[in-house]
Amino acid sequence: MILDRRAFIQTAIGSAAALGLGTTAARAEGSLIVPSYGGRWERFWAEQLLPGFSEATGIETRHDVGSGANFVANLRAAGANPPFSIFMGNENITTMLRSEGFFEPFDESKLPNLSNVYDNLINPGLNGVRGLVSPIGIGYRTDLVETPPTRWTDLWENPEFQGQIALYQIGNTAAVLFLLLTARIYGGSEDQIDLAFEKIKELLPFQQVSWSGAAAAALVRGDAIVAPVDWGEVVALKRDGAPVDMVVPEEGVVAFEQSFNLIANGPDKDEAHAYLNYVLGADTQAAFSAAIGTSPSNTETVLSEELMSEIPIRGEGMRDIISFDWEAYLPRVAEVADRWNREMV
Ordered by where they begin, the domains of the chain are 5-133+256-331 (3.40.190.10), 134-254 (3.40.190.10)
39 confidence band (pLDDT: 50, 70, 90): confident
Q: Looking at the predicted structure, is the pLDDT value of residue 263 above 90?
A: yes
Average pLDDT over residues 14-22: 33
Mean pLDDT of 84-107: 95
Q: List pLDDT tens digits, range 96-131.
A: 999 999 999 999 999 999 999 999 999 999 999 999
> Which of the residue ranges 19-33, 55-69, 242-256 would you say has the lowest mean pLDDT?
19-33
Residue pair 298/116 in contact by the 8 Å Cβ criterion = yes
Q: What share of the chain is helix, strand, coil (3-state, %, to 5)?
A: 50, 20, 35
The percentage of residues in the chain with a pLDDT greater than 70, rounded to a whole number, is 91
* Cβ contact 172:131 at 8 Å: no
pLDDT of residue 68: 83
pLDDT at 153 over 60: yes
Q: What distance in Å separates the CA atoms of residue 30 and residue 269, rounded to the nearest whole number?
A: 12
Is omega for the bond preceding 205 within 30 degrees of 0, making it cis? yes
More confident call, 114 vs 27: 114
Average pLDDT estimate for 320-343: 96
Name the band, by pLDDT with cuts 50, 70 and 90, for residue 67.
confident
- H or E element, residue 228: strand 226-230
Average pLDDT of the chain?
91
Provide φ and ψ at 87, rounded to 5°: -125, 135
Over residues 31-38, mean pLDDT? 93
Per-residue model confidence (pLDDT) at position 18: 30
Q: What is the pLDDT of residue 211?
A: 87
d(CA 216, CA 242): 10
Cα 128–chain centre separation? 14
Could you give the percent of the chain with pLDDT greater than 90? 85
Assign 30 a pLDDT band (cuts: 50, 70, 90). Answer: low
Question: What's the whole-number mean pLDDT along residues 186-210?
Answer: 97
- Does residue 194 contact residue 178 with C-beta atoms inside 8 Å? no
**For 221-248, what is the mean pLDDT?**
95
- Where helices occur in the chain by DSSP H, the ranges are 5-11, 40-44, 50-57, 68-78, 91-99, 154-157, 173-187, 193-201, 212-221, 231-239, 269-280, 282-292, 305-310, 326-329, 333-343
| pLDDT at residue 22 tops 50 | no
> Could you give the 3-state DSSP secondary structure of residue 191?
coil
Whole-number pLDDT of residue 70? 86
Overall average pLDDT of the 206-220 stretch: 93
Mean pLDDT (whole number) for 37-60: 96
pLDDT at position 3? 35
Average pLDDT over residues 159-178: 96
For residue 50, what pLDDT is reported? 98
